[in-house]
Amino acid sequence: MTDQQSLIARAVKVLPGGVLGSHRAAPGLEFVVKDARGPYLWDVDGRRYIDCLLGSGPMLLGHAHPAVVDAVQRQLSHGTTFMLLNEPIIELAEEIVRAVPGAEQVRFMSSGSEATFFALRVARAFRQRDKIMKFEGGFHGTHDYALMSVGPRSPKAFPAAMADSGGIPHAIGEEVLIAPYNDLATTEALIATHHNELAAVIVEPYQRVIVPQPGFLTGLRTVTRRYGVPLVFDEIVTGFRLAYGGAQEYYGVVPDVAAFGKVLAGGFPLAAVAGRADIMHHFDAALEGSPDYVWQAGTLNGNPVAAVAGLATLGELRKPGAYAKLFATGRRLKDGLAAAAARHGMPAQVSGEPPVFDIIFTDRPVVDYRATLTADRRRIALFNEECLRRGVVKAVNKIYVSLVHSDADVDELLGVFDAALAAVAARTA
């Protein structure tokens, strides 16, 4: 047994499924990370991988970026958590307000799931209503409201919500309405019918790897404004990635509230809700004791180590040319992957924006969750497996691009994608 195999055997005993969450490698390809630098991971046995998972998105600058490491090392000797105001977290809040079009005030928490949870709670307090509308297939983390109709195998008629995983109270199903992403007419009709019960509409402006159709987000903005229903953007993935000002800058549509995480925290546990001051006001502890008050507190909120990592990350992203480089790398990868799929005669869409996209094995244009149900699930599982076999780590349904994937890395990745697709074609022939 190698050191790595014995670590994996130990993990299986003490961690359910031997994993940390939903990310699992195919049997025989499990590994344990020992080291990470730039776009690479190394496992305990010394094997190198090109990383297109990027910690599920935060490591946009690559691993162990010198600016982030230096900022964190300098902060460590000044204390690591206070639950009190500190200069780095105030600076980070100011930077979010400067960067993000709809951000007037900011509240911090530790994870993206918390951020969407509290974005919805503050919308409820503001709007004095209970129900939430979300989109089928949209993922907003793992709290009870977020996990409605994320991946239903047999979807129900809109707007009925269903929990597709366990442990979620049935009552939550009554509190959530489901709409079809990119179908403005149906969404408008549902909002027109239910607006008086709705506290908020939450959407991933770029849902998983599905691009919003022209007019969809603008239409959603118009109809939510018409009925006074707060529009919440989940920018956990898109924030500081599609543009410095997130999806709201990139697509030119400004929500009332947005949730941020991942890139914002440079690889540390920190997330934020940012939005209109009159909504954010409900977090103000001066309201304590009144029904307007939203209790949101957390031991690690405003953590200064995460804040300096975030500030260092954002500093790098503000450098001229950062996004042009990110998009150029992503475009090369997307185009190369699409060409490889065509070469292997495989019906597939390479769907998404250049900084984060994936291949979906269907001949149908992917405009909504139901289109993804037409995809060949076995092929995507095999593609992920064949990439990993060749030393490329990707998310289950995403390829994340970083600022440190070089032209040589892209060449290597395209070679692996091509070989992986050939293997998938052979195994599914």
Ligand X SMILES: Cc1ncc(COP(=O)(O)O)c(C=O)c1O
CB of 272 to ligand X, least distance (A): 11
Per-residue CA distances from 360 to 166, 208, 216, 335 (Å): 27, 12, 22, 14
Burial class (CB in 10 A: 0-12, 13-18, 19+), 315: middle
CB of 269 to ligand X, least distance (A): 8
Question: CB 414: neighbour CB atoms within 10 A?
Answer: 17
CB of 401 to ligand X, least distance (A): 16
CB of 263 to ligand X, least distance (A): 11
> What string marks each residue from 229 to 248 as x (binds ligand X by CB under 6 A) or -?
-----x-xx-----------
Closer CB to ligand X, residue 141 or residue 246?
Answer: 141
- One of 108, 117, 139, 216 touching ligand X (CB under 6 A): 139
Q: Cβ-closest residue to ligand X? A: 112
Q: Is 254:268 a contact under the CB 8 Å cutoff?
A: no
CB of 237 to ligand X, least distance (A): 5
Closest CA to 108 of 119, 100, 98, 99: 119
CB of 202 to ligand X, least distance (A): 10
Residues in binding contact with ligand X, number by CB under 6 A: 14
CB of 235 to ligand X, least distance (A): 8
Rounded CA-CA distance 302/293 in Å is 20
Residues 6+ positions from 8 with CB-CB distance below 8 Å: 18, 30, 31, 32
Closest CA to 183 of 219, 139, 224, 235: 219
Residue 392 pairs in a beta bridge with 50
Closer CB to ligand X, residue 118 or residue 383?
Answer: 118
- One of 39, 88, 141, 212 touching ligand X (CB under 6 A): 141
Closer CB to ligand X, residue 107 or residue 332?
Answer: 107
Q: Is 317:60 a contact under the CB 8 Å cutoff?
A: yes
Q: Which SS3 state, helix, strand or coil, does residue 331 take?
A: helix
Closer CB to ligand X, residue 113 or residue 329?
Answer: 113
Site for ligand X in 109-138 (CB under 6 A): 111-113, 116
Rounded CA-CA distance 400/397 in Å is 10
Q: What residue type is assigned to position 397 of the chain?
A: N
Closer CB to ligand X, residue 146 or residue 416?
Answer: 146
CB of 429 to ligand X, least distance (A): 34
> What string marks each residue from 34 to 63 as x (binds ligand X by CB under 6 A) or -?
----------------------x-------
- One of 88, 102, 261, 352 touching ligand X (CB under 6 A): 261
Q: Is 321:244 a contact under the CB 8 Å cutoff?
A: no
Site for ligand X in 263-282 (CB under 6 A): 271
Closer CB to ligand X, residue 24 or residue 318?
Answer: 24
- One of 107, 124, 134, 140 touching ligand X (CB under 6 A): 140
Rounded CA-CA distance 44/86 in Å is 38
Rounded CA-CA distance 19/23 in Å is 7
Closer CB to ligand X, residue 203 or residue 229?
Answer: 203
Per-residue CA distances from 69 to 60, 92, 267, 367 (Å): 14, 17, 11, 40
CB of 396 to ligand X, least distance (A): 11
Q: Tokens for 69, please give them.
A: 């490491």
CB of 25 to ligand X, least distance (A): 18
> What string marks each residue from 178 to 207 as x (binds ligand X by CB under 6 A) or -?
--------------------------x---
Residue ranges binding ligand X (CB under 6 A): 56, 111-113, 116, 139-141, 204, 234, 236-237, 261, 271
